[in-house]
Each structure stands twice: as structure tokens, then as C-alpha cells.
């Protein structure tokens, strides 16, 4: 029951930690410059098993984690990073059964995480103006078997199609401040709102727009993730790290009360 | 359908952003120094609604997010913070249907997040040597209606009760390096392993123990979360921030292959 | 020759690390709730010596470092922090013999560091519109014996008094972008320019103004300083830290060449 | 008086911000793939001036700052970074007239900064076991005209040559905890002590050794420097940054008093 079977998505990890994600198919071969590994040799093996290529290079076979899947999405745009996605899921309270609306599908990394988290009983709607990005996102979702939880809508959130209001709304758009008002029409009152923005100027613009709406519980934050070298006797941070992915903005749209936010 | 009803867990947010989480019960009163708000006035109102106390102080009624619930857990020990929990969920791939084992229940904040993420179809087992902490964790879980997804086991992970191997294992223990080997017996091969440790010395100790086991995909990291002041025309980080909660360690136990990790 | 003498500025450090900076004067007493210590008992003692109050509380007598002096400046405004000052000195190349112009004296912490670094052969000119702040800065400078290296000018940098162009110019002003052009008239061509600004909006404004001037070598940065708890067997960062003091902006005004900076 | 003259160290900055530091010599040529610039054309020009190569590529001529000099040191080992050096100078109170002892000359970047800061009236002694590193450091010092302020001693700090006790001591050594006691014999009582260490394990070891000595005012910290992109309308941090250079340790050796530090 812990054995890999045909159709499973598996991850092979080389000794140098390089990762390869593939779908097991009888008769197929996994080929690297480290040598060849037949899928048939993997099918039926336990996860965690070591398998050597015909050249003797060892690989470990694992089930990819959500993070592994996110980092392996094919992309034609900057994806939202796992460090940010983990926190977004908590702030937007995206879990089994949640209905989420995303504007700005992009390559679909966040879309994938949302689809993964909402389970069979939830639903993700993702809107993008670019048909090519939506095709790419669909491909990324299909690869991991999550496309059936997502409605990819080709269009502009400023002119949103009619659908049942979402529990949570996330914007990954260059001019989020302009999309805010129409997008909020798709969020149920008191729902969870979030956005990611690369520049400080965009954050100012979105905060200004939010102060018109009434929001409560408004937060702006950024998350820094620093890795360490893993030698026990010489523990130290890695030499370099990602300095910035985006600013995260969160809030809850509410009935107007007193002076607007931030004043 | 977006209206609060008796039995719902709701969050009231004051103008100064102070939050209060409570369960709506007919006939009850919410009392603060801002005045009194009868639960009966909230029942039937839409989420996002504004309600004023008898003294005229406005509150907004919201559904608490997972983060709100985590931050409001009653605690007698340091809890794991949302910034870390979000990333842990991604690294351990905890979602609908996952079976997770946690050692070190503590006040139960991570337990709550795990129970929330695994949905109806998953399962959380959490072990702790302290009966008082488990009572507290149970209380925190019951408050949010998630106790039925969790087995709280009183005991030591070094002497684990027999149960079906978990998909993911997380250790929040002072001497994780000692618990590692017995705890891994409860994780299925290739499963997801994680730990949180406050000191660098503990990280070195755990990494040394992990290098004996065979692990692949070993990572040590820390997450820094910085909030900003939300005035659009004066965007700037807050004055102070949390500098440290814990180091996170992750890895995948695998069949032995070549030299141990980290050498 | 390593002994404290009358007139010396000394620092007493208690066991709980609380610090007290004072000038030794025959006949005077140092009084805390830990007890009394006569200056005459300190005069003639070696630095590093332990001295007990009449209640038996131990203190160590040290010469204050530049950082100790900065942290002990009397203030009626936010001071620039040592972490930032250290880097400013390097970027502005402020050392023995340098002539520096500062606009925005404030409480005079940076003024003190500049005066300290330029030595007997350098010169600091510091301009502020507020006479009360300049009195406070003078007091802070006099306490540490550095007032004779500084010209405190009461006035507006937008209307600068005539003086020999400085080697380096630093602005600590709310609207640095407005003061930029007149202030640069006081800096010799190719000199070193720097500024500290609390908000991102101010940085954008200053960068926009700088792009009109011709600058080269323009940098914006921020410095984060994280302390650790110093128990050898439990090494870990402190719980909390300063999240933000200000953004630092640097550049070198030059003869125009091609398109302006940042485009 | 603001004009470059033969023998001056000047920095040429290209439009892409690439920097070149050179000593002006009549008859010489500066050659890049951007074209040729004769030194004679620079001599006599004002700093800040724009000069075009024979291919029409513009350069600005500046005096290098201390930071520019540090970043341009020739190296065969990791150098201490400006962000750390600025803070070290403040914590060790290294300024005009200070006598500093450094153990671990390495490529001499910190040595250069110390020599620069102490002025004509101070003195730097720097010890290293490797003759080749000292030759490199001497070369770096000579290039900037500071070699005459430094005694480069070939040897081991554990067996220090006799000389007048220093005001400040800095260790940049792999096993600083072993060198601590002999090195402290070269520091005057109450002097300023600092060290830089790449790993957490080394910090623990040094702290343990320091707790035997009596130290007061012990601090461990790390400094993170994050740069921003400088486009006014799109202000945001750079994509990547240095994650770690070293942990900084500071303290003041004192007469014993009560229980040792850190317990």
C-alpha cells in the first residue's frame, strides 16, 4: 500500500539533491546523464526505495510534497513561492471545502496549491486575461491531477463573470488597486482578501484603494526564508538567499464603520 | 447563507483591531470595557456586519481564519507561529486525507492546524508526556470543533503505541535527536519528516542523528515575518518584530545509499 | 596609564548589563538603587576593574565605546542607530580629516559619530531649523568632549550659509527630496551623498529627485541587526528585534552623462 | 583643489556601474573593452567629471570611498564585508589614535579599514601564520597608501610577540576559542574585544571560552544588508542578497565578579 504504481506522480532525488518529477508509465524510461532507469523497475517498489541507474547512480523514489510540486511547475512568469503560499493559505483560511477566487492565474503555482488545499469538496476559480498563461496553468494542474477542482476563466476580473461569491479572494495583478472594487463583488461579505505585489508603490496604491472600501484587519507583511547548510559540526546559513518575492497584503472587507482604515 | 447562526464561532474586531473569538449562544452577552453586545443581535446577521455595543462602540463580526484561531489558542507553552505552520504544512504536504503524527502536543496550536488541514478524511495523532498539556490542547481543539479528527495520546514517542504508519511526522521536542529513531518507526518509508527547534545546538544534534538514518532532501531553515504600518502615504515596516521562533528541519527518510547526509 | 582619572568619561556596567555613563569628578557620588559608589574610589583604578557599592553590588568600570556613547545620547527625536551609522561612515568615507555636512542635526547622535570619526583634523557642520534640537545636540557633544569639532548652524539647508564645500553630505530630513538641490551646492563635485528616510514613499521621492541631478553609484538599502542569546549550550537569536529604523540612500553627484539614473 | 593629480587613487564608474580603481600615472592608459582613456586626460580634471573613452563610452571619475576600497581588495580568502566592518569599528571604538590588534590578517580588508580609521596617530598590528596572506594584505595596503600605519607580524597569536597592550582586539580565526586567552594578554584591561565566526558551533565554543575569562557586555549578533532596486516608481528589494557572512561576537574583558557570563 506504500508501493508506487502505474500512474503515480513520483519524485526521484539524486545524491546531489537534484529532483525529477514524473508519472510512472509501464514501458517508459527515465533518462538522465546519470544513466537510465526503467519505470517498470519503480512500479511496485516502496516509496523511499533506492534505485540505481544502469550506470550505478543511485536515486531515491519519493512522493513529491506540495512544495516539490510548486517548485517544479512549468513557468513563463514569476511564480508565488512556497514560503508565501503557506502563509497565504493560513491567512485566507483555505482548507477542505473552501471556495476561492484567484485573479491573475499566471503559471498557476498558487492555483495548484489552492486546488490541493480545498480538497474534493472545495472549488477554485482562477481568472486571467492571457489565454496562453491559462493553458500553461491547466497543463501544470493536469500533471498533478488537480485540474478537475479548478475553473480557469479567460477574462478580466474587472468584468467578472457571474458566479456564487467566494469565501476568499486573492489578487496577483499589476494594478490590484484598480481591480479591487469589481473583484470584491465576487467575495462574500466578511470574506478573506489577499494580494501579492512586487513593489512598495503598488502596496501604497492598494492600501489607498482599500481605505475607501472599509476593510478591517489590514496587514502588510513580507516573509524572508533563510536556509542553512546542513553539516552538523558547521551549522551556518547558506551564503545567499532570496531577498524579495513580494509584499503580501491582507484584509477583511466589512460594513463601513467610522473613519476609513489607516487614518 | 452568509449569516451567523447559533453555535458558530465568530470573531469580533474592534476599531483598534483587538480581536475576540466566541461561540454564539442565544441569550448570552459579549462584554468588554467598550460595552455589551447580546449574542441574539449577532445571530442572523451577515458576516462583515457592523454591530455597536450599548455604549456605541463599533465591532465587525467575522469568521475567524485559521491564523486567527491559532493566535487565540490558550497556551501554557510557546506555540508554533502561523508563519512557521504555513510552511510546515507545505513541506509535510499536509492536506485533505493526510495522516499525521505529531510528538510534542504542547498547547496544541500546530495540532489544530493539522486537524484543520487534513479535513474529514485525514487523521492526526498527537503524543505528549504531559497530561495537563493534552487537556489544554483538547480544550483548544474542542472550542473550534476539530477534536474529532485528533487522537491525543498520553505517552512518550520513544515508546510509541502501535498504529498505522503516518504519512508525515513532526517533532516539537527538547531532545528531538533522541526521539528520532523510535518516532521514525511510526512514519511510512519515504514519508515527510519535520521538526522545530529553538537553539542552534539542537539543530546540530538533530542533523547528526539524521545523518545516521539515511535521509534525503534535508533542509534547515528559518522564517522571518515582518509587518508594515499600513498608512498608504507613509509605508514603512513596523518598529519591532519577532526575531526568532525556531529553526525548522525537514527531511525524507530513505533506504541507505552511499555516504550519509551532510558529509 | 590605563587608570581612570578625574574628568574621564567612564561607563559602569552592572551585573544585569545595565549601563551608566558619567564623568569622574572628585568628591562626587554615583547613586543607584544598587547603592552608592564614590567617584574618588574609581579615580586611579584601572579600566576593567570591579567596584562594589556600599551595598555590595558589583560594577565594572569601562571606557564607553562609540556605540555606548551613541546609545546614551539624550534624545527628543528618533536617533540614527549604530548599525546604520557604522555603514554610513564607510559609505560616506568619513574618517580622520574629512569635512562633513549634516542637515537635520536632531538629537545629534550621528553628529557625535561624525565628530568622533573625523578626528582633530576634520570638521563637521550640522544644520537644523530647530534651535532646541541644536541645544540638545550641543549638550550631547559637550558631554563627550567633541563639541569643538562641530559647527552647529541654526537654519535651513534650503538656504545654506556660505562655507567651503564638504567632502560628504548627509540628509536626515522629512522632505529630503526638496532639500537635495540646495544641499548639493555645499558638496564638492564627486563628493559622497547619503540620506536616511523612514518611509518607502520618501525613498521614491528622493530617488526621483536624484534622477534629475545626475548621480552615479546610487544605492538604497536597509540594515537588519539581530542579537543572539549568549548561552553557549543554547545559542539562539533573541526573541524580538528592531524591524526598521530607516532606509539608507547613497550616491555620488556627477557631471551629466547620458540618460538619468534609474531609467 | 578638487582636481585629480598624478599619484591619486581614483575610481572610474561606467554607465552600468562597473567600477575600476587605479592610480593616476602620467603616460599610462586605462583600457577596457569600452575603449581607452589616457591618465593624462584625467589628471587635472575635477572629481565627478565625465570622461569618454576613444570609443565614446562615458565614465565618471571619483575618489573611491572606504567601502569601494574594501570591495576592491585582492583576495585569496573570504573578506569581512563592509556591513560588518562598519559595525565592528563602532563596537571596538576604532577611531583616530586607536591602537588595534588583529589576529587573522587574511587578505587584509579589515586591516585596511582599521588602518584607515585610526589615522596618522593610531596603529594597527596584524598577525597571521600564513606569510602569503600577509604579502597579499601588504599589497592591498600599499595600493591605498596605508601600509605605514600597520605592523604585519608573521606568527601565531597563541605565541604573541611582546608589544604594548592594544585598545582593541579582533579575532578572525577558525579556532578563536583557543586563541582567546593568549590574545587577551595583548589587550589592555577593559579593552574592546571582537571576533567574527562563520558557524554557530564556533560561536558556542567561543562563548564557552569567554565565560571562563570574565567578560561583561557580551553580545552575539549578525547583520543583514538588503539592497533595493532604485527605480523611483517601482521601489522594491533586489531579488537576491547575501544571507550570511559571519556571526559577530563582542565583549569587554574585566576583573572577575560573581558568576561567569552567560549563566
Pair (B58, B82) in one structural domain: no
Q: Does C90 touch chain B (CB under 8 A)?
A: no
Residue in chain D closest to A233 (alpha carbons) equals: D201
Pair (D54, D103) in one structural domain: no
CATH of the domain at C40: 3.10.330.20
Interface probe with A: pick from D227, D235, D236, most Cβ of A within 10 Å: D236
- Chain C residues in contact with A207 by the CB 8 A cut-off are none
Residue in chain C closest to B226 (alpha carbons) equals: C243
Burial, A217: exposed, middle or buried (Cβ in 10 Å; 0-12, 13-18, 19+)?
buried
What element of type H or E holds D205?
helix D200-212
pLDDT digits (tens, 9 = 90+) for C170-220: 999 999 999 999 999 999 999 999 999 999 999 999 999 999 988 999 999
Q: How many CA atoms lie within 13 A of B250 on its CB side?
A: 21
Full strand arrangement of the beta sheet holding B19-23 = B19-23, B9-14, B58-62, B50-52
Pair (A74, A125) in one structural domain: yes
Q: Does A184 touch chain B (CB under 8 A)?
A: no
- The residue from D47, D64, D81 where one domain ends is D64
pLDDT digits (tens, 9 = 90+) for B33-81: 889 999 999 999 999 999 999 999 999 999 999 999 999 999 998 999 9
A159 falls in which pLDDT band (50, 70, 90)? confident
Q: Please report the ipTM that was assigned to this predicted complex.
A: 0.95
Q: Which residues have CB under 8 Å from B150's CB, separation 6+?
A: B111, B114, B115, B123, B124, B125, B126, B141
Tell me how many residue pairs between chain A and chain D have CB atoms under 8 A apart: 54
- Cα–Cα distance measured from residue C147 to residue C139, given in angstroms and rounded to the nearest whole number: 8
Residue B201's SS3 state is helix
Q: What's the average model confidence in pLDDT over A12-39?
A: 94
| pLDDT at res. C260 | 44
* Cα distances (Å, whole numbers) of residue D211 to C60, C147, D256: 16, 39, 10
Residues of chain D scoring pLDDT < 70: 1, 161-162, 257-263
B262 falls in which pLDDT band (50, 70, 90)? very low
B263 falls in which pLDDT band (50, 70, 90)? very low
For C243, the closest of B201, B235, B241 (CB atoms) is B241
Q: Which residue range is the domain that position C26 belongs to? A: 9-64
Q: Does A221 touch chain C (CB under 8 A)?
A: no
Computed over every residue of chain C, the mean pLDDT equals 94
CB A69 within 8 A of CB A93: no
Residue in chain C closest to D47 (alpha carbons) equals: C190
Full strand arrangement of the beta sheet holding D9-14 = D19-23, D9-14, D58-62, D50-52
Q: Domain count for chain B, please give it.
A: 2
CB C227 within 8 A of CB C202: no
- Cα–Cα distance measured from residue C127 to residue C169, given in angstroms and rounded to the nearest whole number: 11
Residue in chain A closest to D174 (alpha carbons) equals: A234
Tell me whether residue D258 is in a domain: no
Interface probe with D: pick from B197, B200, B203, most Cβ of D within 10 Å: B200
DSSP C199: S
Share of residues in chain B with pLDDT > 70 (%): 96
Q: What is the secondary structure of D24-73 as a DSSP string?
A: --TT-EEEETTEEEEHHHHTTPBTT-EEE-TT--EEEEEPPPHHHHHHT-
| pLDDT at res. B261 | 42
| pLDDT at res. A255 | 84
A9 falls in which pLDDT band (50, 70, 90)? very high
- Return the number of other C-beta atoms located less than 10 Å from residue A221's C-beta: 19
| pLDDT at res. D159 | 81
pLDDT digits (tens, 9 = 90+) for D148-175: 999 999 999 888 766 789 999 999 999 9
- Chain C residues in contact with D65 by the CB 8 A cut-off are 90-93, 192
Tell me whether residue B261 is in a domain: no
Pair (A24, A104) in one structural domain: no
Tell me whether residue B262 is in a domain: no
Cβ-defined contact of C235 to D207 (cutoff 8 Å)? yes
Instruction: Tell whether the torsion through CA atoms of D252, D253, D256 and D260 is positive or negative.
Output: positive
- Among residues A161, A221, D16, which one has the least CA distance to residue B237? A221
Pair (A146, A97) in one structural domain: yes
Pair (C115, C243) in one structural domain: yes
- What is the pTM (predicted TM-score) of this model? 0.95
Burial, A49: exposed, middle or buried (Cβ in 10 Å; 0-12, 13-18, 19+)?
buried
Q: Does B81 touch chain A (CB under 8 A)?
A: no
pLDDT higher than threshold 60 for residue A263: no
Q: Does B226 touch chain A (CB under 8 A)?
A: yes
- Chain B residues in contact with D201 by the CB 8 A cut-off are 200, 204
- Among residues D165, D194, D168, D192, which one has the least CA distance to residue D253? D192
Cβ-defined contact of B221 to A228 (cutoff 8 Å)? yes
Tell me whether residue A263 is in a domain: no
pLDDT higher than threshold 50 for residue B259: no
- Cα–Cα distance measured from residue C59 to residue D127, given in angstroms and rounded to the nearest whole number: 33
Instruction: Tell whether the torsion through CA atoms of D17, D18, D21 and D25 is positive or negative.
Output: negative
| pLDDT at res. D263 | 37
| pLDDT at res. D255 | 84
pLDDT digits (tens, 9 = 90+) for D74-88: 999 899 999 999 999
CATH of the domain at D125: 3.40.50.150
Q: What's the average model confidence in pLDDT over C139-147?
A: 96
pLDDT higher than threshold 50 for residue C68: yes
- Cα–Cα distance measured from residue C236 to residue D246, given in angstroms and rounded to the nearest whole number: 15
- Chain B residues in contact with C237 by the CB 8 A cut-off are 243-244
- Chain A residues in contact with D200 by the CB 8 A cut-off are 235-236
- Cα–Cα distance measured from residue B218 to residue B227, given in angstroms and rounded to the nearest whole number: 29
Pair (B171, B240) in one structural domain: yes
Q: What's the average model confidence in pLDDT over B157-184?
A: 90
- Chain D residues in contact with A240 by the CB 8 A cut-off are 240-243
What element of type H or E holds A224?
strand A215-229
Interface probe with D: pick from C10, C57, C89, most Cβ of D within 10 Å: C89
pLDDT higher than threshold 90 for residue B248: yes
pLDDT higher than threshold 50 for residue A260: no
- Chain C residues in contact with B242 by the CB 8 A cut-off are 239-241
- Cα–Cα distance measured from residue B24 to residue B11, given in angstroms and rounded to the nearest whole number: 10
- Cα–Cα distance measured from residue B146 to residue B138, given in angstroms and rounded to the nearest whole number: 9
* Of B190-194, C162-166, D179-183, D207-211, minimum mean pLDDT range: C162-166
| pLDDT at res. C263 | 37
- Among residues D82, D156, D66, D83, which one has the least CA distance to residue D118? D66
Residue in chain A closest to B3 (alpha carbons) equals: A189
Tell me whether residue C2 is in a domain: no
Tell me whether residue A174 is in a domain: yes
Pair (D59, D76) in one structural domain: no
Q: Does D200 touch chain B (CB under 8 A)?
A: yes
- Chain D residues in contact with C218 by the CB 8 A cut-off are 230
All partners of chain B with 3 or more CB pairs under 8 angstroms: A, C, D
Interface probe with D: pick from B202, B203, B204, most Cβ of D within 10 Å: B204
- Return the number of other C-beta atoms located less than 10 Å from residue A234's C-beta: 14
Q: What's the average model confidence in pLDDT over A46-75?
A: 95
- Chain A residues in contact with B116 by the CB 8 A cut-off are 95
Give the burial string for C93-119 (b: 16+ CB within 10 Å, else e). bbbbebbbbbbbbbbbbbbbbbbbbbb
Pair (B20, B150) in one structural domain: no
- The residue from A19, A35, A64 where one domain ends is A64
Q: What's the average model confidence in pLDDT over C123-130?
A: 96
pLDDT digits (tens, 9 = 90+) for D125-152: 999 999 999 999 999 999 999 999 999 9
Pair (C180, C82) in one structural domain: yes
CB C133 within 8 A of CB C65: no
Tell me whether residue B4 is in a domain: no
- Chain D residues in contact with B203 by the CB 8 A cut-off are 200
Burial, D258: exposed, middle or buried (Cβ in 10 Å; 0-12, 13-18, 19+)?
exposed
Q: Does C8 touch chain D (CB under 8 A)?
A: no
For C66, the closest of D60, D93, D120 (CB atoms) is D93
Tell me whether residue A262 is in a domain: no
Q: What's the average model confidence in pLDDT over C81-90?
A: 98
A256 falls in which pLDDT band (50, 70, 90)? confident
C262 falls in which pLDDT band (50, 70, 90)? very low
| pLDDT at res. C1 | 56
| pLDDT at res. B257 | 55
Pair (C18, C86) in one structural domain: no
B161 falls in which pLDDT band (50, 70, 90)? low
- Cα–Cα distance measured from residue D113 to residue D123, given in angstroms and rounded to the nearest whole number: 12
pLDDT higher than threshold 50 for residue B179: yes
State how beta strands B247-253 and A99-103 pair: unpaired
State how beta strands B236-237 and C50-52 pair: unpaired
State how beta strands B19-23 and B9-14 pair: antiparallel
CB B136 within 8 A of CB B171: no
Angle, vertex CA B143, rays to CA B37 and CA B70, nearest 5: 95
Distance from CA of B80 to the nearest CA of C (A): 13
Pair (D50, D178) in one structural domain: no
Residue in chain B closest to D201 (alpha carbons) equals: B201
Cβ-defined contact of B237 to C227 (cutoff 8 Å)? no
pLDDT higher than threshold 90 for residue B22: yes
CB B204 within 8 A of CB A232: yes
CB C208 within 8 A of CB C130: no
Residue in chain D closest to A236 (alpha carbons) equals: D199
Residues forming a β-bridge with A13: A19, A60
The torsion angle over the Cα atoms of residues A37, A39, A44 and A46, rounded to 10 degrees, is 50
Q: Does B110 touch chain A (CB under 8 A)?
A: no
State how beta strands D99-103 and D123-128 pair: parallel
Share of residues in chain C with pLDDT > 70 (%): 95
The crossing angle, in degrees rounded to 10, of helices D82-91 and D109-118 is: 40
Tell me how many residue pairs between chain B and chain D have CB atoms under 8 A apart: 9
Helix residue ranges per DSSP H, chain C: 39-42, 66-71, 82-91, 109-118, 131-143, 176-184, 200-212
Amino acid at each position: 500500500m506504500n508501493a508506487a504504481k502505474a500512474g503515480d506522480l513520483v519524485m526521484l532525488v539524486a545524491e546531489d539533491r537534484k529532483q525529477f518529477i514524473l508519472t510512472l508509465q509501464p514501458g517508459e524510461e527515465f533518462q538522465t546523464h546519470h544513466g537510465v532507469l526503467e519505470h517498470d523497475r519503480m512500479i511496485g517498489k516502496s516509496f523511499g526505495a533506492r534505485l540505481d541507474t544502469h550506470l550505478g547512480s543511485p536515486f531515491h523514489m519519493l512522493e513529491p510534497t506540495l512544495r516539490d510540486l510548486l517548485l517544479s511547475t512549468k513557468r513563463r512568469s514569476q511564480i508565488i513561492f512556497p514560503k508565501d503560499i503557506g502563509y497565504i493559505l493560513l491567512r485566507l483560511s483555505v482548507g477542505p471545502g473552501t471556495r476561492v477566487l484567484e485573479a491573475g492565474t499566471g503559471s498557476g503555482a498558487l492555483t495548484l496549491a489552492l486546488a490541493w488545499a480545498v480538497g474534493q469538496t472545495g472549488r477554485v476559480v482562477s481568472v486571467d486575461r492571457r489565454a496562453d498563461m491559462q493553458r500553461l496553468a491547466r497543463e501544470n494542474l493536469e500533471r498533478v491531477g488537480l485540474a478537475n477542482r479548478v475553473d480557469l476563466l479567460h477574462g478580466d476580473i474587472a468584468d467578472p463573470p457571474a458566479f456564487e461569491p467566494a469565501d476568499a479572494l486573492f489578487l496577483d495583478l499589476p494594478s490590484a488597486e484598480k481591480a479591487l472594487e469589481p473583484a470584491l463583488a465576487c467575495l462574500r461579505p466578511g470574506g478573506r482578501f489577499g494580494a501579492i505585489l512586487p513593489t512598495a508603490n503598488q502596496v501604497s496604491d492598494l492600501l489607498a484603494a482599500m481605505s475607501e472600501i472599509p476593510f478591517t484587519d489590514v496587514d502588510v507583511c513580507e516573509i524572508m526564508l533563510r536556509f542553512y547548510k546542513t553539516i552538523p559540526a558547521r551549522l551556518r546559513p547558506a551564503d545567499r538567499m532570496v531577498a524579495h518575492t513580494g509584499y503580501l497584503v491582507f484584509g477583511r472587507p466589512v460594513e463601513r464603520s467610522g473613519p476609513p482604515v489607516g487614518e
